[in-house]
Structure 1
Amino acid sequence: MPPLTAPVIEDRLLTFLVSALIGGVAIHAGARIVSEGRGYAHAVLTALLGAVVWALLEPVPVLGGLLALLAWVGVVRWRYPGGWLRAAGIGVAAWAAAVVVLAALDLLGVGAVSALGVPGA
């Protein structure tokens, strides 16, 4: 593996930031569709917290994916008003929004990013 040089670190940081912003857009859109939407910064922080929870729980053997998904929905429930069903609805809407945004970016030739904090996107 080659050593990390400044341009490589900058590229990775830029990819992380763009992916976090896309995840924030998706969660913000999902919250506006399903619930009382809050600010975009609130959605970006929710995406970052959800990504951390996902990263910690998904590697757990056998039940990691299910535990990670439930914890991710729990983060959304904690950050937005409503119960578990509303949080799950925000998650589904956020996933759909992320898929649309990522598909549009791919059409524009930007395919190296993801929707950080949105599982499955």
Structure 2
Amino acid sequence: MLGSSLIDNLVVFGVSLLIGALGIYAGAKVIVDSSDYTYAIITALIGAIIWGVVGLFLGWIPLLGPLLAFVAYLAVINSRYPGGWVDAAAITLIAWVSVLVVLYVLAVLGVTAFDAVGVPGV
């Protein structure tokens, strides 16, 4: 029983990570012409970890905690892709919209829940 639950959770995490990475890939392709999906997967994983850690320690602070978690996530995008903070914000915005569209379609089809790892707020 426990092993099955763990495997189920790992599959959900993996699929969610791949969907989140797809959003980052789309944003990076449009903004900085990067076409490395593996790089986007690693970026999504790092971003999810950083978002989670900052959220764990600072997320309880009203308004400031979530803002700091988001800025930390942007810093990951900014450090992983060329350009500056504006490009990182544009990549993040396109990633967020892309993931929303993919998750909406998958949720309508009954394939998955409406969430993904690697893109905050989705």
Q: Same fold (TM over 0.5)?
A: yes
How far did 1:22 drift?
0.4
- Residues 74-96 of structure 1: per-residue CA shift (max 9 Å, x gap): 10011100000000000000000
Give yes or no for contact 1:15–1:113 (8 Å, CA) kept in 2: no
The aligned counterpart of 1:35 is 32
**Identity of aligned pairs, percent?**
43
Residue 58 (1) aligns with residue 61 (2): no
User: 1:113 Cα deviation (Å)?
Assistant: 6.0
Is 1:73 matched up with 2:70?
A: no
Equivalence for 1:17: 14
Q: Which runs of 5+ in 2 are unaligned?
A: none
Structure 1 outlier segments of 4+, above 3 Å: none
- Distance in 2 of aligned mates of 1:52 and 1:11: 20
Superposition pairs for residues 100-119 of structure 1, below 5 Å?
100-112=101-113, 114-119=115-120
AA in 2 matched with 1:75: V
- TM-score, normalised by the number of residues in structure 1: 0.92
> What amino acid is aligned across from residue 115 of structure 2 in structure 1?
S
Post-superposition Cα deviations, 1:48-97, rounded to whole Å, max 9, x if no partner, equal 00001100111313221111100100100111000000000000000000
Moved more, 89-98 or 61-70: 61-70
Cα RMSD of the aligned pairs, angstroms, is 1.3
More helix by share: 2
Counterparts of 2:31 and 2:111, CA distance in 1 = 29
- Aligned partners of 1:48 and 1:116 also within 8 Å: yes
Q: Secondary structure at the match of 2:90?
A: helix
Distance apart, 1:114 and its partner CA: 2.4
Aligned-partner Cα distance in 2 for 1:19–1:120: 13
Native 8 Å contact 1:54 1:68 kept in 2 = yes
Instruction: Specify the code of the residue in structure 1 equivalent to 2:31.
Output: V
